[in-house]
Homo-oligomer: A and B are copies of this chain.
Amino acid sequence: MKELREAIRREGKGIGQHIVKVDMFLNHRLDTRLMFDMGRDLADHFRKDVPDIVLTVEASGIAIALATAHRLGDIPVVFAKKSQASNQSEDMLTAMAHSFTHGNDNCLRVDRHYLPKGSRVLIVDDFLANGQATEALMSIVRQAECELVGIGIAVEKGFQDGGKILREKGINLKSLVIVTGIEDGKICMADND
């Protein structure tokens, strides 16, 4: 996706071998226009699959999930929570995910009532690396007896395994940009439009 690739080229920073730092527009500061451009492209890709819920995980998936849901005709968003709160229901679907960014394990939780059985679920997230968060969300979709219609991602780290594994499973995966590697601080991207 042209706009996202240009933003990464202009502002992104590669750190070491693995860290793609894009928090100046994607997951700390949000470039609002870019969020809705990304939402438009993901919505255009998945519209024919008729999703009725967008599922993501807090916190950095929420913005792109909301923009996508808006472009799909204001369908609801559900975001998985990473911590337990006093106002949560007791009927939670859960799945474990390891975060490489934070170096910890998260138990993702979704209230069963918000994923009604038979819903057509589109998973949306800002990043796909090893696919741990995505696999946890997929487990929650299965537990809820919903149908996964596809997975939309802003930035896929093509040098890690998540995307390959999902494609081998035949899942309808759309990554707006695929980062192929980091060379001397420069973020290299595939031409996948």
Q: Which residues of A contact B (CB under 8 A)?
A: 15, 19, 21, 23-24, 28-33, 35-36, 58-60, 62-63, 66-67, 69-70, 74-79, 81, 83-88, 101-103, 110-111, 113-114
B87 touches A19 (CB 8 A): yes
* Subset of 13 A-B contacts with CB under 8 Å: A23-B87, A24-B113, A28-B78, A28-B114, A29-B77, A30-B79, A35-B66, A58-B60, A62-B66, A63-B63, A85-B102, A86-B102, A86-B103
Q: Count copies of this chain in the complex.
A: 2
Q: Are the CB atoms of A66 and B23 closer together than 8 Å? A: no
The CA of A58 and the CA of B79, in the complex, are separated in Å by 12
User: Knowing A101-B85, A102-B86 touch, does A77 contact B114 (C-beta < 8 A)?
Assistant: no
Contacts A23-B87, A79-B59; A29 near B101 (Cβ below 8 A): no
Residues of B within 8 A of A24 (CB): 113-114
Q: What is the CB-to-nearest-CB distance from A110 to chain B, in angstroms, rounded to a whole number?
A: 8
CA gap between A146 and B88 in the complex, in Å: 36
Which chain B positions have C-beta within 8 A of A76?
A: 29-32
Minimal Cβ-Cβ distance residue in B for A110:
B28
Q: Which of B32, B102, B110 contacts A77 (CB 8 A)?
A: B32
